[in-house]
Amino acid sequence: MRTFIILAFLLSFAIQPFLSTPALAQGVDEFKEIDIEGSAFPDTKRGCAKRASFNVAMADLYKNGKDPQELTKMKIIRPLVQNVYDDIGKKGLTRFYTDTLENYQECGKKAKADRNEEREAEQIVIYESCSGINEVTLDALKAVKSGRSKESLISKYEHKKLNVKGTTLEKVEGPAVFLVEQVYSKAEGSYDDAVDFAVKMGITCLNSRDRDPPVKKELPKDLPEDVRKKLRNMK
């Protein structure tokens, strides 16, 4: 289901700006002149989330043996899909999945502030929440791979506070410890199962709603002052 949601996003978000006028529509057949990737995945936290969601959706299709040429008949979309397939071909699915989570972490740190103040405030909360979840699961994956004991990692995260309001972890007591335990539990089956769990948690978080207001802490340096004031005044 999440795969088709992401494809729908691409059709509505990435293509619409280029079909608004006949001149731009003509550019669809000559898409080399159009920065489709930049339009679909802007350098904001929202763009980081869209890219991560898209990459995982395409990886799921790859995993199920779907031909990228069959995913869409629109030439404007194919390069994005093919790029993901090519990257998976080089790295393998497991590394591609973990790289996607790690890239989201870094992307969010470097992201520019969204010009839409309300959307920026929302994305700050989403990034704080999802990057926190990813931090724990990625660390747990590395620990599993290196043979580190589960107990040592639980000790590290037993007092870790995560903002999981509005996510599937909202009613879980001690979500950080829960994530560690689940990664280790899944890894008993296979490392790939543990990776699948981590990815599921990360992507589900990105699509969650009803967040808490932004936590009053350090804000991005490039955030406009009026947005800073609004966030500081939130309770």
Integer Cα distance of 88 and 188 in angstroms: 25
- Structure tokens that stand for 227 in this block: 């947005």
In the chain, where the domains are located: 1-112, 124-235
230 contacts 128 by C-beta, under 8 angstroms: no
Task: Mark the ranges of the chain whose per-residue pLDDT is less than 50.
Answer: 1, 5, 10-32, 214-217, 234-235
The pLDDT tens digits of the residues spanning 91-149 come to 999 999 999 999 999 999 999 999 988 889 999 999 999 999 999 999 999 999 999 99
Identify the CA nearest to 181 among candidates 167, 165, 169. 169
User: What is the model's pTM?
Assistant: 0.77
